[in-house]
Structure 1
Amino acid sequence: MIDCSAIIVAAGSSRRAGFDKLMALLDGTCVLRRSLEVFLECPLIREVVLVCPEDRFVRVMEGERPGVPVRRVDGGRERCFSVLAGLSALQGESPLVAIHDGARPLLRQEHLMNCIEAASVHGAAASAHPVVDTLKRADDAHFSQAEFIDREHLWAMETPQVFDVALIREAYRHVLETGDLVTDEVSALEHMGRATFLVQNPWPNPKITLPGDLAMATALRAMI
């Protein structure tokens, strides 16, 4: 069986949401707990590192001692530094690590396992979906520009993103050396010329960012 560690990034301030989106209730359970449970219930996951403040960790765990070891580590001022902290906190010997945004609570276990299995083959795999909307570029005043953007090969990135542990650590060493900040791990690999296999997600997996996203996630959860 494939062994995989997990890092769940939940250190953000929720500034754009205007409330603590990770602790907001989604059908009676907080967003971060719903994200965590998918990993705790996955038979391929051997350990979980939650990158979050201590008070958030205490509230999410509620004194529970799950069968999968769960540890906490403080995050950094940018997402990439939070992921680095999570990588440093790994204690197991799993060859793979799945990195997930805690604000994506609709991840399905079947898709998590698909991403892990793809990473075991390719060394790097990430959840994503093809872009279906018409895309426009706007100027600073928000007026559309006369430009055709071909969406045929465009994908919207999601998490989890799963990697060979040694590979993602090498990628982040390269990021630190160049001083370039990245917004996800696929971008970190691209900085050193390595591509990631994209695993199409057939189910909605939105990130809770704005106030309306929580209501949308609640509706989607009821549908799927």
Structure 2
Amino acid sequence: MSILLVTSSPRGAASHSTRVATDLARKLVAADPSNTLVVRDLVANPLPHIDPDYATGIYTPAEARTPRQAEVVGVSDAVLDELFAADTVILATGFINFNISSTLKSWVDHVARSGKTFAYGENGPKGLVAGKKVYIVLASGGIYSEGAAVQMDHAVPYLRSVLGFLGMTDVEVIRVEGVGMGADAVTAALAKATAKVDAIAAATADQVAIAA
């Protein structure tokens, strides 16, 4: 199994989403040593935001593209190759202004391509990215999974919608929430997220044992 880990927090080593997502990826590899891991760090290597060269280049035959069009479409193609090669996708993001990070949004913009990851037919749009398990690791300062603030969470609904549009409907969310509420809240949030990570890794190890 190939695992794609996509991190997007600008907080580096202090990022809770990156920490938990990386822990999940490593434990999935440990559960089955045949697994491979590909890491896409969107902060160390940010993707270019959509511009006119990209918007026109993806609809221009390869042989007719300008050098700049070829460059930006090539970047998008590389990201698409990583996605299609993965069996499991882990997306890590902080909760920024009630949504995902702009760096992760740029990744979405590069993988959501007509004719590549979705297509329009007689019955409407159809996702072309199938058979993948997706984990969303979302860190937030407040609590947005329940209570009055649920309506302010645009991150999880957005990701579920766009991933589903592309064909990825097996999506599980791991929240690291309440980390802005003091040291005790951080400890509790990390413990809860780690317990969920451990449960996922244990289930994977059990499946490997059964298959063997």
TM-score (norm 2): 0.36
TM-score (norm 1): 0.35
Q: Which has the higher helix share?
A: 2
